[in-house]
Structure 1
Amino acid sequence: MADLQHRHIAITRPQGQAHRLTTLIEAAGGHAIPFPLIAIAPLADYRHFEQQLELLPQQDWIIFISSNAVQNAMPRIQARYTPVPAGLQFAAIGPVTAHELQQYGVTNILQPEQRFDSEALLALPEMQYVAGQGIWIARGVGGRELMADTLRERGAHVTFAECYRRINPQTDAGILSALWQNGHLDTVVVTSSEAMRHLLDMTNNGQDQWIQDVAICVNHARIAELPRAQGLRVLVAEAPGDDAMLQCLSKVSPI
């Protein structure tokens, strides 16, 4: 079991999505500090999403980019279509998102088996020959364009269905700086590229002394690129999921 005695670890996940990792950290003797850099908020206006819903019966695939997309789209889909349109195939970016879909009664979900990102989903055989197919992507406002761009290059007709928005609930990182100054912060967990951008924006592009001194643990090599470019100390978990993140945290050593 990981030993995190005397460790102080900030978790930047949205509120409500850090419970298990917090439990694991504290069971290993560490102290978890909630510092969400992403908050999930509903759209101010769902009229455009409702218009996109009208296209669903003509689609071949619906891809969910995150569990947040499932939580914000599926209730509206099921309110409009019961059952969902026949022949519609479901895909998820990874097992957490697939599990969320299962809570809505969806089975037979296409998902990657090792890496859990757009690249891994696009590499699956089912996503190779999609010319002429309609693909509906449920996601938050903005985000990466790789999925849609690649599918369009392969001849698919792609529709974005944006069903939530992400905001930064923090105004500054003063709390983390103060904790570090008092010897009560040594590591920050960041599990999304957007949260990493917020963290860098609030630390003078990663140049503030406190963030130069702590370690940052991430769950994907892509998230590590920006902080490493600023000379920050970044460790990448060997696999997705909280257990792998716990192992990553256990490898952090004092400077």
Structure 2
Amino acid sequence: MSVLRGRRIVVTRARDQAEGLVRSLEALGADVIAAPAIRIEPLPDDAALRSALADLSRWRWIVFTSQNAVHVVCDSMRGWGLQPAALATGNVVAVGPKTASALGREGVKVALVAEETTAEGVLAALTDAGGLAGARVLIPCAQGAREVLPQGLRAAGAVVEVIPVYVTTQETGNPKGLPDGRGKQLAADILQGLIDAVTFTSPSTVYGFVDMVGAEVARSGQFAAAVIGPVTAQAARDAGMRDLVMAARSSAEGLAEALARRFA
């Protein structure tokens, strides 16, 4: 199927995470431009995480709200001489199927997968599961992550420990395929109507894109902004983007499907 043939679509996802989305778009015939707006960096001090995972029986729930958290935690465990499969204690929660799959590849069986792949969805799933009063909950996450989940859990009586394990920063290198000057050619292409859509998989990718091409270009209305979910959609609106395409499924495949419907 080549429903996106001739469409030039920008992928702003971090360089080492973009493959799935690029593959999904190219399978539909799109001409994909890789312009990573962010990068993921593990935080150097893992002492708090190591202490938290020393006795897994302490935790009623261990909640992973992203694949990034899975990768960083599991890599840290291997660095300590532990196998990530040790997390398979029957109390692991994943924000969605992609995060659950990442855990599964590490040998970790997931007890609960949120239907809605947002912090609000995880909160709803844990609330429905019940027994939060007095329950100890560990959340390894991004530095500066939204407080919706820990605040909601604490309001339900849970004892929550949030441990930042990685940071999302704006990409400072020269994106592959873009000239020196970081994004100048991409900005020019957008203003000339040569870009059909830009994909955003997190609010951070929105912020990084705006930094890359400039606020005026970002709100120029010259491209469709394909967003992976409601939180990212709000970040795009706040940046002045109005032509939004929302993925029905919060995944790379969902984004590609949304663009296929848009340009069919």
TM-score scaled to structure 2, two decimals? Answer: 0.84
Match of 2:38 in 1: 38
Report Cα offsets for 1:161-180 as digits up to 9, x if no partner: 22211111147532321333
Match of 1:242 in 2: 252
Matched, 1:173 2:174: no
Matched, 1:160 2:194: no
1:181–1:210 Cα contact (<8 Å) kept: no
Report Cα offsets for 1:109-148 as digits up to 9, x if no partner: 31023x2111112112555430111100011211111110
2:7–2:31 Cα contact (<8 Å) kept: yes
Match of 1:27 in 2: 27
Report Cα offsets for 1:61-103 as digits up to 9, x if no partner: 1001111111111243464766737956100111111111112
Map 1:48-59 to 2 at 5 A.
48-54=48-54, 56-59=56-59
Match of 1:222 in 2: 231
Pairing partner for 1:192 from 202, 208, 211: 202
Per-residue deviation, 1:201: 4.3
Map 1:1-255 to 2 at 5 A.
1=1, 3-54=3-54, 56-77=56-77, 79=80, 84=86, 89-113=91-115, 115-124=116-125, 125-170=127-172, 173-181=183-191, 183-205=193-215, 207-208=216-217, 211-229=220-238, 230-252=240-262
| Cα separation, partners in 2 of 1:119 and 1:86, compared to 1, 3 Å | closer
RMSD: 2.6
In 2: Cα distance, 1:35 partner to 1:241 partner = 19
Per-residue deviation, 1:108: 3.9
Per-residue deviation, 1:53: 3.2
State percent identity of aligned pairs.
27
Amino acid at match of 2:20: R
Report Cα offsets for 1:173-215 as digits up to 9, x if no partner: 323213335553221000101211233344554x337742111
What SS is found at the alignment partner of 2:133? coil
In 2: Cα distance, 1:160 partner to 1:112 partner = 19
Amino acid at match of 2:249: A
Per-residue deviation, 1:32: 0.5
Amino acid at match of 1:70: V
Per-residue deviation, 1:247: 2.2
Report Cα offsets for 1:201-246 as digits up to 9, x if no partner: 44554x3377421110001122212333525311111222233212
Q: When the two structures are aligned, how many residues end up with a matched partner? A: 251
In 2: Cα distance, 1:247 partner to 1:75 partner = 32
2:184–2:213 Cα contact (<8 Å) kept: no
